[in-house]
Every structure is written in structure tokens, then in C-alpha cells.
């Protein structure tokens, strides 16, 4: 179901709504769902980086960005990147996409640091700092899965669940 409000939560005009509904159905008609990964693979044209591309609103646009506009409440005029959890450029499954910003960049750096740490310590249950917890909360808000965060931070998924539900980590 397309998001029917524009920037600032203002309702869109009927012309825009009709165009978004058409966009939604034309994207869904050109996907193949990969049963293993759950990726929505774009069956139309791809650009040189492997991202799906399609003409919409008078210009060629990235399919994964349009998916984020339709289903993740993403502002299409934003300069932020839409990133893939699944590292699969032609995928436009909204649950595999997230809006990149400073927080996720920090997590990417964290991931690299954590990978080194885990190799050294062979430790699957690293201790989370206050800053880690803030980052995890923000990433959860941005739609990162609990499973992925558990593996990024090297903790049990139940720990992430606890943070999501604010059990043990009162700020
Ligand atoms: Zn995917």
C-alpha cells in the first residue's frame, strides 16, 4: 500500500495519488521474488551499478529509491542514499532497504571494528555500551532487522529484542 501523504504529512492531491498507485502496480508487476533471500528482483532495465531503473515523473529513476518513496515514507527530494541490507542492487523489497545517514554509517564502521574484535576474542556475547544501545535503537527505527543487528553487534537476538522493547536499557 503506497504512502498517501507527502512531506510534512500533508495529504497528496488526487493526481499524485493516482500516479503513485500506478507506480506501485507497475513496480509489483515487474518483480521476481527470490524464494531463498526474499529479495524482490527487478525484471526491467538495470543501470551500470546493477540497480533497477525505470522512467517515472519525466526522468529515469532508481527502482529501489522509488520503492522507498512508496513504502518507507522516504522523501524523494532527499539527498540521502537508500541502502540494501541484502547487498543486492536489483532488489527493491522495502524490508531489505534502509535510509542511509550518519547513524548507519557509524554502524558500518562499528561492524568493521566489531568483526576485528570478534576474530580476536572469539566471543559471541560482546558487552554493549550505552552508545551501542543508542545506535541500535536508531537502527531499529530506521527498519534494520533485530537479526541483522544481533550479528552486527555480536549479541543474542534476544538482547536486541530487549532493547527494542526497552526492557533493560532505560536511558
Ligand atoms: Zn533484497
Looking at the chain, the whole-number percentage of residues with pLDDT higher than 70 is: 71
Q: What is the Å distance from ligand 1's center to 123 Cα?
A: 29
Task: Tell me the per-residue pLDDT of 15-25, one tens digit each, with 9 for 90 and over.
Answer: 666 788 889 99
CA of 167 to the centre of ligand 1 (A): 30
Ligand 1 ion: Cβ-proximal residues, 5 Å cutoff: 39, 86, 88, 91, 93, 96
**At a CB cut-off of 8 Å and minimum separation 6, what does 163 contact?**
133, 136, 137, 140, 169
Q: Is the domain of 140 the same as that of 113?
A: yes
Query: Is residue 115 classed as helix, strand or coil in its secondary structure?
Result: helix
pLDDT in tens, 87-119: 899 999 999 999 887 555 556 655 655 544 443
- pLDDT at position 144: 84
94 and 135 inside one domain? no
pLDDT for res 169: 43
How does residue 171 score in pLDDT terms, banded at 50, 70 and 90?
A: very low
Assess contact for 130 and 92: CB atoms under 8 A.
no
- How remote is the CA of residue 13 from the centroid of ligand 1, in Å? 31
**Domain ranges, residue 135:** 102-164
42 strand-pairing partners: 31
8 A C-beta contact, residue 81 and residue 62: no
pLDDT over 80 at 148, yes or no = yes
CA angle 40, 30, 142 (to 5 degrees): 35
Residues 33 and 95 in one domain: yes
Helix (H, G, I), strand (E, B) or coil at 23: helix
The chain-wide mean pLDDT, for the chain, equals: 78
Torsion of CA 54, 100, 166, 119, to 10 degrees: 120
Tell me the whole-structure pTM to 2 decimals.
Answer: 0.54
Domain shared by 83 and 151, yes or no: no
pLDDT tens-digit series, residues 26-83: 999 999 999 999 999 999 999 988 999 998 888 889 999 999 999 998 888 888 889 9
Distance 58 CA to ligand 1 centre (A): 27
How many distinct structural domains can be found in the chain?
A: 2
Calculate how far, in angstroms, residue 82's C-alpha sits from the geometric centre of ligand 1: 12
Amino acid at each position: 500500500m503506497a504512502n498517501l501523504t507527502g512531506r510534512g504529512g500533508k495529504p497528496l492531491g488526487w493526481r499524485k495519488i493516482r500516479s503513485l498507485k500506478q507506480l506501485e502496480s507497475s513496480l509489483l508487476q515487474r518483480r521476481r521474488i527470490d524464494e531463498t533471500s526474499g529479495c524482490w528482483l527487478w525484471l526491467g532495465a538495470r543501470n551500470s551499478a546493477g540497480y533497477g531503473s525505470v522512467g517515472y515523473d519525466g526522468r529515469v529513476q532508481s527502482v529501489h529509491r522509488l520503492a522507498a518513496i512508496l513504502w518507507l515514507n522516504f522523501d524523494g527530494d532527499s539527498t540521502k542514499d537508500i541502502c540494501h541490507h541484502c547487498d543486492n542492487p536489483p532488489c527493491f523489497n522495502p524490508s531489505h532497504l534502509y535510509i542511509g545517514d550518519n547513524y548507519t554509517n557509524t554502524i558500518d564502521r562499528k561492524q568493521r571494528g566489531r568483526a576485528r574484535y570478534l576474530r580476536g576474542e572469539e566471543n559471541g556475547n560482546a558487552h554493549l555500551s550505552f552508545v551501542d544501545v543508542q545506535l541500535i535503537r536508531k537502527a531499529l527505527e530506521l527498519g534494520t532487522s533485530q537479526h541483522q543487528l544481533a550479528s552486527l553487534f555480536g549479541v543474542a537476538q534476544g538482547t536486541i529484542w530487549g532493547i527494542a522493547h526497552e526492557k533493560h536499557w532505560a536511558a
